[in-house]
Structure 1
Amino acid sequence: MSLKYTNTTADFLDWNEAMNLIRNLSRDGSHKMSLLIAIGCFWGVRISDILSLRWNQILNTDEFTIQEHKTGKNRTIRINNQLKKHITDCYKHISPIGLNSPILVSQMGTTYSIQRINVILKEIKVKYKLNIKNISCHSLRKTFGRQVYNQNSESAELALVKLMELFNHSSVSITKRYLGLRTEELLQTYESLSF
């Protein structure tokens, strides 16, 4: 029997590396991928929810609510000022056909598939020499989770409870396994011993 979230194949990006990547992609004219990575890292939503977003939901607003595809639950997301500026900048460069159009449309006019996004992320990993072993769409969600946890390390249990709620996990132990914390905590036990 295998436990869900025990062996996830996606790793997370270091936060500073992720922020540099967002800036570099934008600088290099890859505004769609810059936007995708920014949204994934800042909101921690699943790729299926990102791909269903439309410009009129996220442009010029402070917060919005989505219904998550996987859980069917509503989730309200607040957009911080830095990300709001980035969304506006990407919108200007992408020049979509309308406010009701999806935020990530391929050159063929269709919404990207998850498989295609994963291929692009692997190409980005190589091009930008990212320090991550296994990258996929899920890496963005994990990057968000790790950053929230790391920023709140003095109250780690509260951070885990928040993440459990945001990720719609049924327990904190699932969230810990999801973030790879259980293994890390166990391995740190060896380092804590001394003579």
Structure 2
Amino acid sequence: MAKKKPANPIKGKEAVLDIQDYLKCTGQRDYVLFVLGIATGYRAGDIVKLKVRDIKASLENGYFEILEGKKVNSKNIRKENIKPRIVKVIKNLEILLRKYIKGKKDYEYLFQSRKGKNRSIHVSTVSRILKAAGEEFGLKNITAHSMRKTFAYSIYVESEYDITLVKEMLGHGSIEETKCYLGLDRETYDKYSDSLNDLIRL
């Protein structure tokens, strides 16, 4: 069975803006979900569980605080690691969220499924939406997890490649985990592999 390819980040401001413009056309829900994902770096599985009251609380105190859950398989034992991560509510995201929740009830899911009242959207649906958006612009392996990876990669570039900062902002346990997460080793390997083209005369 072929190994599943990891999700890619959306690299570059223009590509991120293109995806946003595309999602505005598919619906406000998809657009706001994407923006929330890339602005906070929260896992899609945690984002889809958010309710309007959670957003109101975050807007009130100026920070998101989500207990992030990550499934871990070890010797066929499935467990869940839960840890809080705090992220600032940035200005443009605050403006967008205030408009989006206007008129919504506190108990409603922030991102409702279109299949039924007060049911949250599934992560698989988020992946399907983002895959279609990525394909529109020739981007490969864009999934729900690409939002978190886009957040990470953007911070990495903006911080002038401070991987320790990215590690802390993602809540990773080690630098090696963050390097692997950003695909830095793979990027380097591919770069030097491509240099071998100079050895081949066509």
TM exceeds 0.5? yes
Normalising by the smaller structure, the TM-score range is 0.7 to 0.9
Q: Where does structure 2 lack aligned partners over 5 or more consecutive residues?
A: 71-80, 196-202
Structure 2 equivalent of residue 135 of structure 1: 142
SS in 1 for 2:85: strand
Q: CA deviation at 1:174?
A: 1.4
Structure 1 equivalent of residue 76 of structure 2: none
1:72-103 Cα deviation digits (max 9, x unpaired): 111112110011111123234xx53x123211
Q: CA deviation at 1:35?
A: 1.0
Distance 1:133 1:106 in 2: 25
Q: CA deviation at 1:185?
A: 2.8
Q: CA deviation at 1:187?
A: 4.3
Structure whose CA Rg is larger: 2
Residues 1:162 and 2:160 are matched in the alignment = no
Q: Which amino acid is 2:147 matched to?
A: L
Aligned 8 A contact 1:44 1:144 in 2: yes
Distance 2:172 2:109 in 1: 28
SS in 2 for 1:69: strand
Structure 1 equivalent of residue 73 of structure 2: none
Q: Tell me how many residue pairs correspond in the alignment.
A: 177
Aligned 8 A contact 1:160 1:172 in 2: yes
Aligned 8 A contact 2:113 2:122 in 1: no
Q: CA deviation at 1:68?
A: 1.1
Aligned 8 A contact 1:51 1:103 in 2: yes
Q: CA deviation at 1:29?
A: 6.0
Structure 1 equivalent of residue 42 of structure 2: 45
1:10-35 Cα deviation digits (max 9, x unpaired): 11112422233224433x36111111
Structure 1 equivalent of residue 20 of structure 2: 22
Q: CA deviation at 1:8?
A: 4.9
Q: CA deviation at 1:120?
A: 2.0
Distance 2:37 2:64 in 1: 15
Distance 2:96 2:141 in 1: 26
| Residue in structure 2 matching 1:120, options 129, 135, 139 | 129
Identical pairs, percent: 24
Large movers: runs of 4+ above 6 Å: none
Q: Which amino acid is 2:121 matched to?
A: Y
Aligned 8 A contact 1:15 1:143 in 2: no
RMSD (Å) for aligned C-alpha atoms: 2.4
Residues 1:55 and 2:62 are matched in the alignment = no
| Residue in structure 1 matching 2:188, options 185, 190, 195 | 185
Residues 1:87 and 2:97 are matched in the alignment = yes
Higher strand share: 2
Q: TM-score, normalised by structure 1?
A: 0.80
